[in-house]
Structure 1
Amino acid sequence: MESLHLAIFTNRLLLQPISLKYKEDIFKEFTAEIATYLYAAPPREIEGTEFFIKQSLQEMEKGENITVVVLKKDSQEFLGCSGIYKVNSKYPQTGIWLKKSAFGQGYGTEVIQALKEWADANLDYEYLRYPVDQENIPSRRIAEKLGGQMFSKYKHTNLSHKVLNVVEYRIFKT
């Protein structure tokens, strides 16, 4: 699996490996508001974003995770980040965040659908885990549109010290 040269195309989007080229976009768009329902916290300085990108690239080189930037196919506009984590597991995890101006346009579903199709073709897994805060209705709809089944609920404290009420979906391989 050569994930550093990955390119996944949808009708409207291009998913490609994260790179330092997008550090300014990620730093600017990954705000406290965007991170409300996520485990990660936005860094205070761009060096935190650089660290995240470099760590993501190392994990991709090791074949552990796949972290992608989401771009509009036609304009190359940066929309957010997504990925599949623990790719060698029977139960990898997927997740996504999009910048605020990209909300409500169906990009999230398009991204997770594309990653699932890629995983179906390239990974030996049983289901994708898709954890989401129970109050994050748009993200819950993504899992449900893709046939995700609610499996468990638990509390998880994120890096901003907020307790999330997580609903974990399973999206089965087809």
Structure 2
Amino acid sequence: MRDIKMDLLNVEILTDRLRLKPVSMAYKEEIFSEFTETITTYMCPQSPQHISEIEAFIERAIVDLEKGSDLILVILKKDSQEFLGCAGLHGMLGKTPEFGIWLKKAAHGYKYGLEAIRGIKSWAEQNLDCEYFLYPVDRANIASRKIPEALGGKVVREYEHKKTNGNILYLLEYCLNRS
């Protein structure tokens, strides 16, 4: 594995339409307003009740960037720098890092999620020594399931996860091989 610990705070991933860069406090207001209950329906985290929850998330993300364990990025439109959401690659110190992503409601339906994950996967294949990637998604979240499926992912595990609000997620864990 290359030494990525010092690079993560300065990583920038460019795709045809997107710019992905490390999360920072500059985006706390947009994350807070867009990470709504609707967006988190199929996600483990709950929508925040106060902006301090987003500030704590960003602080933890920066620590993880510094440690080299997680790459937490904001997704921006390349042309306008409009904030679209967040994406990440978690568990990068292990052999099977895990993708995560969310997009604000207004960004749904444009395939930004697929483009962002494809960009992160390409970056990871060039910079990490991993065996394969994981992508967990609730089985009812058809739009999000299309992302790993478009990248050749196969379901390798199914399990339940209880959210803090008591709701149950029925997760499919996709395996995405290196290209």
Query: What TM-score do you get using the length of structure 2 for normalisation?
Result: 0.96
Q: How many residues were matched structurally?
A: 174
Q: Offset at 1:125? A: 0.6
Residue 118 (structure 1) aligns with? 123
Q: Deviations over 1:29-87 (max 9, x none)?
A: 00000000001111100000000000000011011101000000010000000010010
Q: Mean alpha-carbon deviation: is it higher for 152-161 or for 126-135?
A: 152-161
Contact kept, 8 Å, 1:88 with 1:124, in 2: the verdict is no
How far 1:160 sits from its partner (Å)?
2.9
Q: Does 1:170 align with 2:179?
A: no
Deviations 1:18-39 (A, max 9, x none): 0000000000000000000001
C-alpha distance in 1 between matches for 2:177 and 2:71: 19
Q: Corresponding residue for 2:141?
A: 136
Q: What's the RMSD between the two structures over aligned residues? A: 0.6
* Cα distance in structure 2, aligned partners of 1:41 and 1:22: 18
Amino acid at match of 2:152: G
Question: Which runs of structure 1 show a deviation greater than 6 angstroms over 4 or more consecutive aligned residues?
Answer: none
Aligned pairs for 1:31-110 (under 5 A) are 31-110=36-115
What is the DSSP-based 3-state SS (H/G/I as helix, E as strand, rest coil) of the residue aligned with 1:168?
A: strand
Structure 2 CA distance, aligned partners of 1:54 and 1:125? 26
Letter in 2 for 1:82: A
| TM-score, normalised with respect to structure 1 | 0.99
> How many percent identity over aligned positions?
46
Give me the whole-angstrom Cα distance separating, in 2, the residues matched to 1:84 and 1:160: 25
Following TM superposition, by how much is the alpha carbon of 1:161 offset from its aligned partner in structure 2, in angstroms?
A: 2.3
Q: Given residue 3 of structure 1, which amino acid in structure 2 is its aligned partner?
A: L
Q: 1:164, 1:126 → 2: CA distance?
A: 26
Residues 1:152 and 2:157 are matched in the alignment: yes
